[in-house]
A and B are shown apart, each in its own frame.
Chain A
């Protein structure tokens, strides 16, 4: 990605911040248009997301989802594959996790349910990515198209299962039974409570640590294993990678399986952690937001962590905004989020040229000064 003439700190730090600032500047105009002081709104958003314990809990809970789906998109992208199917893979992955909780919950202790639910979530998510991966690798159907289609299939399948199979008798909304308590992930306020730390109730749960572990593991995989090298080689130049002895077809399938498995882990947070039952539509766009997270995070686990945090703040802080201001509708919060996606994702390269020009001009003038001083 970095084929410009800028040093790393500008690429990694300054450009994303500039893009973010632009997005927020345009958002400010939207707030001014409805007579809300944008500074007050920004303050409320940040305080609501980070200023008190419950807000922090919600922010990190959202971030957990985005880490999973962001990593899923990023790892596929580093092999040159654009996996748009995170939404469906997370949905089916959550189904796997939920089924294990429903089936094993009544009879097995937590330390058995937990790993099986985690593995089932990853396996279901991976399997949902398998067919698009196979079609891409061996049949040449483009993975963008097939993964989008699989999102729809996942949605339909889940409706069928929720309505006809999983919904308990007499329940009106499409939700499964609530899991037994030994199939609940420990909540963060309980975990901290064991160590004598008081933390208010929030949806934040153990899966936050799973997400952090996933970040580290993806980093290790991509930059410190032969597989990771092969994945990145395939992503930057498939022809050279093939010439170098990498089997692109096999690797495509493997990468998509890992990607699907990462997306599938979202169910740990949403299904086993937060709602403790399978609900229709529990993914609610987190899979798509993962694409933006991966783009803003520049496909690097550290970047994805901060991008996930940013979106966590936007989701939680945005909710505070629409709660506190009667004239800020939920849709306006979505506009702010979309502007961030637009400037940081779609227009991420817009500022590269101007910044490059300024930077080169500055360094040139400095070099000139140095030269004249020497002379």
Chain B
């Protein structure tokens, strides 16, 4: 009898431990150094991904924000050592740190947003920003009365040029002769937090004839939208749906659904589904979209809406090929 009890106890203990190791779900997120309240990318992950998932599933997600470059790797290393999995890293800046840590902890599953890390335990979430930018560029060209559109970028890096290049292609797809102006705010990360300069650039573009401006500039975008409102021009938001910020002058927003992807990864992982490798969130996969809601309904006519949707379908079907700046590091299309 005693023997039997200890046996069952051992069996129970064994099965419990195997459950603990196999099905343990300890999700974690490591934000970029800009933090989770950056009003853009990090915030989308925090609000639509982490918070939403915590509320729906009751599972708490561990959050970490490094203060400098070194702490990226240090933080990831510690998350992995503490048994967190999956660990989502927010932003392409994590690629080199993640490559090192993921190699060291092959049993832990990692996700990186906006970059590719080619390891068997890393899922790389890539967004086809050029496709979304193409759509809003096409819409901009349709509504432009001055026959000129423009782009304000934040920091001058390939990712931002990818937005610009897609936008330009979209505008020229609709109207090959359209005027196109492009300015970058700066060359340091502070370029994403300089609304004053954003407004200046937008105003100079308006004075050169543009009447629709697309800002892919993080926090600097607010200045661009404000300038458009002040001068009665149109502006296009980025990453999150920013239509509500200035109803009446926000033509639309190029939406990148990072929060939703975060949520999906956690939800799938909870069900035991995780697939490492490249995961391209393009128009077809619903990772990229343009925003149409009550705030910009009056600015987009039914005819234009149909036309943009048709272009979107053509991109999904592969009839329109949008050139990706980062594929060749130049914008020749």
Query: Which A residues are within 8 Å of any B CB, using their own CB?
Result: 58, 61-62, 152, 155-156, 159-160, 163, 169, 171-175, 178, 203, 274-275, 277, 279, 281-282, 284-285, 315, 318-319, 322-323, 326, 329-331, 333-334
Contacts and interface: CB of A to CB of B under 8 A. Distances in A.
B71 A319 contact: yes
Given A203-B70, A323-B78, A175 B96 contact: yes
Nearest to B62: A326
Interface of B: 35, 63-71, 74-75, 78, 92-96, 114-116, 155-159, 186-189, 326, 329
B157 A156 contact: no
A172 B69 contact: no
A212 B69 CA distance: 24
B107 to A, nearest CB: 18
Contact of B67 (A58, A275, A318, A326): A318
A318 B78 CA distance: 15
A156 B67 contact: no
B92 A330 contact: no
30 contacts: A58-B70, A58-B74, A61-B70, A152-B188, A155-B187, A156-B188, A163-B156, A163-B157, A171-B95, A172-B114, A172-B159, A172-B326, A173-B92, A173-B95, A173-B96, A174-B157, A175-B96, A277-B96, A281-B188, A281-B189, A282-B69, A284-B68, A319-B74, A322-B67, A323-B64, A326-B63, A330-B67, A331-B35, A333-B67, A334-B67
Contacts of A175: 95-96
A322 B75 CA distance: 10
Contacts of B35: 330-331
A275 B93 CA distance: 13
Contacts of A169: 329
- Which among B115, B156, B157, B189 has the highest number of chain A CB atoms within 10 Å? B157
B188 A275 contact: no
Contacts of A62: 70
B74 A163 contact: no
A173 B93 contact: yes
Given A159-B187, A163-B157, A279 B96 contact: yes
Given A62-B70, A171-B95, 7 more contacts: A58-B74, A173-B96, A175-B95, A275-B69, A322-B65, A322-B67, A330-B35
A284 B69 contact: yes
Contacts of A281: 69, 188-189
A279 B69 contact: yes
Contacts of A275: 69, 96
Nearest to A156: B187
Nearest to B81: A54
* Chain A CB within 10 A, most for which of B64, B68, B114, B155: B68
Nearest to B60: A326
A285 B94 CA distance: 19
Contacts of B114: 172
Contacts of B156: 159, 163
A172 B188 contact: no
Contacts of A279: 69, 96
Q: Which of A169, A171, A282, A315 has the most CB of B within 10 A?
A: A171
Most-contacted residue by chain A among B70, B115, B187 (CB, 10 A): B70
Contacts of A61: 70
